[in-house]
Structure 1
């Protein structure tokens, strides 16, 4: 028995170029799952808040929903496959169709009442501003000691009195 190097592809490789093309088109079109897809997202932080851009070409504005609950921003929607002509036979179909849902956990310093969204040219832009009250820098004063120490200092100053010659005298 001869040893041969195994790379996991010998069993699945087609014998001819023609069979490779047939397999490619059959597997890419016929086995495609049209129930869901994951849109591409760009998210960034600015001084004033967070911005989330979602690429949604072919999705209608009325098919998009945005919810915010317990620190989680969720964007859901659906891109439908519209049948334009009967009798068409796709050889390649790379566009994803179906429902989608993307969730983002945001920090506590956001202001949920000011979240806004706009949809233009297939791009959804969600702006989440930071809450200025929560992000503002504050100086915290430090108190020294307890109230008892302050009172005892006051008592000591009352007990000492100055004599006529300038020396301290206890009364």
Structure 2
């Protein structure tokens, strides 16, 4: 009986699973055939006049296991968190920490300087800064006599 500790525990987290399913389906529809994805990390996305910033929570993930690509206006973040194996037998009452392959695809558009995208990984948080293309500023044109 997996749900003996939490009544109706099987219902908890269903909304999160719906978002994971939507992310997977959209990736399959628009990204061609992609490898299986086990989970999608939570993220924050913000924008200023000069750049986009994406923050992803990736505790327990090694920076060597993360790949970032910017292609056709989309920021692709993929990687994996290894499953922890133990030799001892256990009866698990909750398994909430996601493991396996993850992917997030964020549509930023074509106004990103792809060559200048930067990433930093500190204390389990991946911070990605994507600068926007500098827009030409309007200026007054003098009329010569």
**TM-score when scaled to structure 2?**
0.69
Q: Which runs of 4+ in 1 moved over 2 A?
A: 22-28, 138-141
* Distance change (3 Å), C-alpha of 1:25 and 1:77: farther
CA distance in 1, matches of 2:50, 2:9: 50
Runs (5+) with no aligned partner, structure 1: 1-17, 29-34, 144-171
- 1:11-160 paired onto structure 2 within 5 Å: 21=4, 36-132=38-134, 135-139=135-139
CA distance in 2, matches of 1:102, 1:60: 17
CA displacement at 1:19 relative to structure 2: 9.9
CA contact (8 A) 1:25 1:92 kept: no
CA displacement at 1:92 relative to structure 2: 1.2
DSSP 3-state at the match of 2:59? coil
CA displacement at 1:140 relative to structure 2: 7.4
Task: Determine which structure has more spread, i.e. the larger CA radius of gyration.
Answer: 1
CA displacement at 1:99 relative to structure 2: 0.8
CA contact (8 A) 1:76 1:102 kept: yes
CA contact (8 A) 2:72 2:110 kept: no
CA displacement at 1:112 relative to structure 2: 0.7
CA displacement at 1:55 relative to structure 2: 0.7
Q: RCO (CA 8 Å, sep 6+): is it higher in 1 or 2?
A: 2
* Distance change (3 Å), C-alpha of 1:22 and 1:127: closer
Cα deviation code 1:99-120 (max 9, x no counterpart): 1111112222211111000001
- 1:152-171 paired onto structure 2 within 5 Å: none
- Compute the RMSD of aligned alpha carbons: 3.0
